[in-house]
Structure 1
Amino acid sequence: MGSVSDRALAHMDSDDILTELLERICQGLSADTVAVLLLEPGGTELIATATKGIETEVRQGVRVPLGQGFAGKVAAEKHPVMLDRVDSTTVVNQLLWERGIQTLLGVPLLIGGQVIGVLHVGSLTSRRFTDDDVEFLQAAADRVALTVDAQQAQSARAAAAKLQRSLLPAQLPHVLSLDFAARYVPGGRSIVAGDWYDVFTLPNGWMGIVIGDVVGHDLPAAVVMGRLRSALRAYSLETTDPADVLTRLDRKAQHFEPGMMATVLYGTLEPNFDKLYLSSAGHLAPVLARPGAPAEFAKLPTDPPIGAVREARRQTTVVDLPPGTITCFYTDGLVERRHAPLDQGLEALRAAVDIEPSDKVCAHVMAKLIGEYVPEDDVALLAFRRQGPDEVGPLEVTVPAIPESLKDIRAAMRRWLSAVGVAGDVTGDLLLAVGEACTNSVEHAYGPAGGDVHLRIELRDDELVVTVRDDGRWRAARGKNRGRGLTLMQKCGDDVQVNRTEEGTTVMIRRRLEPEAKA
């Protein structure tokens, strides 16, 4: 009995313990084969996991239905079973009788009274296992069960941690005039959680911002979180209406994830970042701090969580985001405490949010609400700030010299002009002028090998200076009614200069700003 005790195996690494246990079981019972079969996650089949003497079981992925055959009976009845006739009428796994096994003894693997698998030994000769043999094998099974349970727990934690790291943004996007920061802390002793946040750009220039909380912890919650995150991203490509996206996400969850539940807050930002469209599926409202006003919670209806109610009606609320506004998304682990009212935590959060760079806001919030406290629930915090005009530097964009790049240039210009406070006719004039200059570079600067178009816009006092540059050699205009781009640029700008050299062409457009041109 001592050969399978904790003391006898204490010096070994955990990865080697199971192999050594099987060796010692074979020696202790003079058996020819020993096998460990574990219940699959669904709990309906036993899967060959570790063997000695008949390794083909593992290689071929042998499965035994619960309650059927020898091993299935051991698991279903939760007590030792001895078998002295091994054939197709008594054993599901044909490898055993093909190998010539004459006698089998099996015992259940139990953790907390629950079956997690079966341990059995076999003999190539007919024999009678004694009560001492049964006692020895059950003691070995208890040690095997502890080893397997520890290995599974360790593997699950490692897999969940890796999964979660792969699903959370490795780094938040760098977006002109937006400042992002985040914090993520699993609750209690868990190293993984079902909370997530995400930020992504959409093909039409909009941005998606999401935070969610899957009910549960550890690997199951992390797996569901990953599925919801991927599905939401896919639906966001079809519509910019957050309520529509959450409706589709809910329909998917109701069908493919029955029994799960999650709260989700999803928002979409207009390309110029003036407005944030929000929809809440049972999630707490974000905190908004606008210039010249105290922080407050966004006023939006809270619809049912994902997975809670079939065909739930969902709504979208529009929130104004003037320059300088900071917005905080968060999960309930940040504000909920077991022995304190929720309103108390929410008020502490509201008081902790001020107009500062997003990383400072996150640090201040975590210090005030978490501090030395070990949160019982998972905590996710995502903050973003729309920068003020005086914080926005020059716009610099480099894109391939192809027609498809022109929409990217226009989107970047709209965002930048809005961020520095330029409005009115100036925006339209500059979009037209820069569009002509970039189109000329696309059409005339490069041959089949292609190249890049470089754009830079800066604000110098009350004047905008735009530079469009390419590195190609100018080619004459093709076709009729061409060459009018320069005339359009001159009408849209106060001064236009074109400099062509062997290294490329540079177009500089200057436009003075009247007081009413700045928003």
Structure 2
Amino acid sequence: MTELGDRLRRLETVTDAGLAQLDVDELLDELLDRVRELLAVDTAAVLLLNPSGRYLVATAARGIEEEVSQGVRIPLGKGFAGRIAAEKRPVILEQVDHTNVLNPLLREKGIRSLLGVPLLVGGTVLGVLHVGTLTPRPFSADDTTLLQLVADRIALAVHARAAEVERAAATVLQRSLLPSALPEIPELEFAARYVPGGQGQVGGDWYDVFVLGSGAVCIVVGDVVGRGLTAAVEMGRLRHALRAYTLDTADPAELLDRLDRQVHQFEPDVMATVLCAVVDPSGEQMRLSCAGHPPPVISAGAGLPAAVLDLPADLPIGVTTSGRRHTSTVALPPGTAVCLYTDGLVERRGRSLTAGLDRLAEAMFAGPPESVCATVMQALVGAEPPSDDIALLVLRRQPAADTDTDTFELELPAVPSSLKPLRIAMRRWLAHVRADRQATADLLTAVGEACANAIEHAYGAAGGTVSVSLAYQAPDVIAVVGDTGRWRAARGSFRGRGIILMRALSDEVTIDRTDTGTRVRIRRTTTEGGPR
């Protein structure tokens, strides 16, 4: 057996049997140690191309560890390593000097000769592997062949491990950006599904639901073109940017226009389809704007057929900033359900988009959102693994029978942000029992004060809940606010005026404090009254 053959056999034994379970860093370190031994060299290093493809970054080294600790970067095409990557071929330097080596560390370490080869997968350069000696050495063709074989193994391992890491990172990132729980909003119900496509490789599909400062609800479904970690990262940027823009405007077309301008300015290579909808605080209507996204499917009530909304289809985000985006308004009578989704739900190879939309409309109905999601996924996905990501979001305005009653009950987290949705829900119920304007204003303020007291005084850092119940007992509205905490004294001066205000705005206020909680009962007479 030749000397090269013997070295190859020894290398095969290590790479096949000893390295299968190592991660990328451990693998590189082990292979560099083996290369130093097999080639009898003093230094060995791996530099990988960064995501931009413009720089080689020192990733692993033996005998010249400073390359890694100092974060050495070599421009593509420059110096020894940059030349190897740019030309995609081995390079030998029998005498190292400042004219052929860009990295001063190589000269400072006293390296006299260098041999480097490219890391290639399918003709694509991933990086460079090079070795060096502290004494002059004429590297042979056998040395080059052996180093290239090691480089090929490193390239395949790095490529495979990088794909695994990227897939895992993309999955974690996307799951962290999707809402962990949909918000609880009076009169509105939500359910959602997300299923990765392409053998589990996630992409840039997302959905989002959040409450604006006005009490309106913003709903977004989007799809960034592309797959993997890059698409997931871009999705996260768009999601956060759109949320930030809602601090200034609640117009869906304006939100998408701002998002479009941002993408063109800072991320010109990104393209995405987005559907943005805003449900007004009353829940009675929804405004929508569509940036190249599949249209929603809506059912106006139980037993009514669903239909695909006919919306102006503006261009996707990232295509052009010219042209005015459109906002459409859709009524949401009680019981209306709306289905928003990404194209992975309706598009299939060999089937037209129209057929997919028709199939979705047939499956869609105005029922509880969880049931709608289950039915839609069964009808359009079934047991067939999706080839593309699917994001599905269903919202329903509660049917009239669920809200138009003589009583009202709501339990909310004991936090200040709960007061706004409470006022919205109370206002709707008080309109139903036909409370007069003054009684409505007084009850909203009095009950709000009672809830604010519970939020501030009933619980510590662990938090809790506040329950509110209203009942119409002609001619009075009876409100009861309860908590399960232990009362804490007010802190600071000029406090304790909430109870004075409650008494001034009500006909009767009783407060019952016990070791198991506080119960505030407020009675207010209304001059009109009676359910509609």
Relative to the length of structure 1, the TM-score reads 0.88
2:288 paired residue number: 278
Cα distance per residue 1:346-403 (max 9 Å; x no partner): 0110110112211111111000000111222211100111112443561235657xxx
Task: Give the match's secondary structure for 1:267.
Answer: strand
- Describe how 1:124-135 pairs up with structure 2 within 5 A: 124-135=134-145
2:520 paired residue number: 506
Q: Is the 8 A contact 2:91 2:117 kept in 1?
A: yes
Aligned partner letter, 2:189: D
2:395 paired residue number: 384
Task: Give the match's secondary structure for 2:339.
Answer: strand
Query: Is 1:136 matched with 2:153?
Result: no
> Gaps (5+ residues) in structure 1?
491-495
Query: Is 1:350 matched with 2:365?
Result: no
Q: Is the 8 A contact 1:243 1:316 kept in 2?
A: yes
Query: Is 1:14 matched with 2:22?
Result: yes
Task: Give the match's secondary structure for 2:506.
Answer: helix
Taking a change above 3 Å as real, the CA distance of residues 265 and 90 of structure 1, as seen in their structure-2 partners, is same
Aligned partner letter, 2:127: G
Taking a change above 3 Å as real, the CA distance of residues 391 and 60 of structure 1, as seen in their structure-2 partners, is same
User: Which of 311, 315, 319 is matched with 1:300 structurally?
Assistant: 311
Cα deviation for residue 340 of structure 1 reads 1.2
> 1: distance between equivalents of 2:53 and 2:448?
63
Q: Is the 8 A contact 2:481 2:520 kept in 1?
A: yes
> 1: distance between equivalents of 2:46 and 2:411?
63
Q: Is the 8 A contact 1:472 1:505 kept in 2?
A: no
1:363 paired residue number: 374
1:65 paired residue number: 75
Cα deviation for residue 455 of structure 1 reads 5.8
Q: Is the 8 A contact 1:3 1:24 kept in 2?
A: no
- Describe how 1:65-214 pairs up with structure 2 within 5 A: 65-214=75-224
2:3 paired residue number: none
Task: Give the match's secondary structure for 1:74.
Answer: helix
Task: Give the match's secondary structure for 2:92.
Answer: strand
Cα deviation for residue 64 of structure 1 reads 0.9
2:470 paired residue number: 458
- Describe how 1:362-511 pairs up with structure 2 within 5 A: 362-392=373-403, 394-397=409-412, 399=414, 409=419, 411-418=421-428, 422=432, 424-426=434-436, 429-436=439-446, 438-439=448-449, 456-459=468-471, 464-468=477-481, 471=487, 486=503, 488-490=505-507, 496-499=508-511, 506-509=520-523
Cα deviation for residue 506 of structure 1 reads 2.8
Q: Is the 8 A contact 1:437 1:507 kept in 2?
A: no
Q: Is the 8 A contact 2:430 2:440 kept in 1?
A: no
Taking a change above 3 Å as real, the CA distance of residues 382 and 438 of structure 1, as seen in their structure-2 partners, is closer
Query: Is 1:51 matched with 2:61?
Result: yes
Cα deviation for residue 444 of structure 1 reads 13
Cα deviation for residue 5 of structure 1 reads 3.1
> 2: distance between equivalents of 1:272 and 1:3?
75
Task: Give the match's secondary structure for 1:5.
Answer: helix
Cα deviation for residue 488 of structure 1 reads 4.2
Q: Is the 8 A contact 1:417 1:427 kept in 2?
A: no
Q: Is the 8 A contact 1:74 1:118 kept in 2?
A: yes
Cα distance per residue 1:68-110 (max 9 Å; x no partner): 1111111111111110221222111111111111110011111
- Describe how 1:258-337 pairs up with structure 2 within 5 A: 258-291=268-301, 293-337=304-348
Taking a change above 3 Å as real, the CA distance of residues 205 and 123 of structure 1, as seen in their structure-2 partners, is same
> 2: distance between equivalents of 1:43 and 1:253?
21
Q: Is the 8 A contact 1:207 1:269 kept in 2?
A: yes
> 1: distance between equivalents of 2:525 and 2:451?
21
User: Which of 42, 45, 54 is matched with 1:35 structurally?
Assistant: 45
Task: Give the match's secondary structure for 1:4.
Answer: helix
Q: Is the 8 A contact 1:14 1:147 kept in 2?
A: no
> 2: distance between equivalents of 1:174 and 1:484?
29
Aligned partner letter, 1:489: S
Taking a change above 3 Å as real, the CA distance of residues 312 and 445 of structure 1, as seen in their structure-2 partners, is closer
Task: Give the match's secondary structure for 1:50.
Answer: strand
> 2: distance between equivalents of 1:262 and 1:443?
46
Q: Is the 8 A contact 2:502 2:509 kept in 1?
A: no
Q: Is the 8 A contact 1:182 1:380 kept in 2?
A: yes
> 1: distance between equivalents of 2:456 and 2:111?
77
> 2: distance between equivalents of 1:81 and 1:467?
83
Relative to the length of structure 2, the TM-score reads 0.86
> 2: distance between equivalents of 1:414 and 1:334?
34
> 2: distance between equivalents of 1:130 and 1:472?
84
Taking a change above 3 Å as real, the CA distance of residues 344 and 464 of structure 1, as seen in their structure-2 partners, is farther
Q: Percent identity?
A: 45
Taking a change above 3 Å as real, the CA distance of residues 121 and 426 of structure 1, as seen in their structure-2 partners, is same
Cα deviation for residue 6 of structure 1 reads 7.5
Q: Is the 8 A contact 2:117 2:130 kept in 1?
A: yes
Q: Is the 8 A contact 2:95 2:136 kept in 1?
A: no
> 2: distance between equivalents of 1:287 and 1:452?
38
Cα deviation for residue 487 of structure 1 reads 5.7
> 2: distance between equivalents of 1:437 and 1:214?
45
Q: Is the 8 A contact 1:247 1:312 kept in 2?
A: no
> Gaps (5+ residues) in structure 2?
1-7
Deviates more, 1:24-33 or 1:186-195: 186-195
Deviates more, 1:302-311 or 1:226-235: 302-311
CA RMSD for the aligned pairs? 3.3
Cα distance per residue 1:293-331 (max 9 Å; x no partner): 311122321111101122331111111111111111001
1:493 paired residue number: none
Task: Give the match's secondary structure for 1:328.
Answer: strand
Q: Is the 8 A contact 2:435 2:526 kept in 1?
A: no
Aligned partner letter, 2:190: F
> 2: distance between equivalents of 1:356 and 1:442?
35
> 2: distance between equivalents of 1:443 and 1:49?
58
Aligned partner letter, 1:77: E
> 2: distance between equivalents of 1:453 and 1:363?
31
> 1: distance between equivalents of 2:13 and 2:331?
64
Cα deviation for residue 413 of structure 1 reads 3.1
Q: Is the 8 A contact 1:434 1:468 kept in 2?
A: no
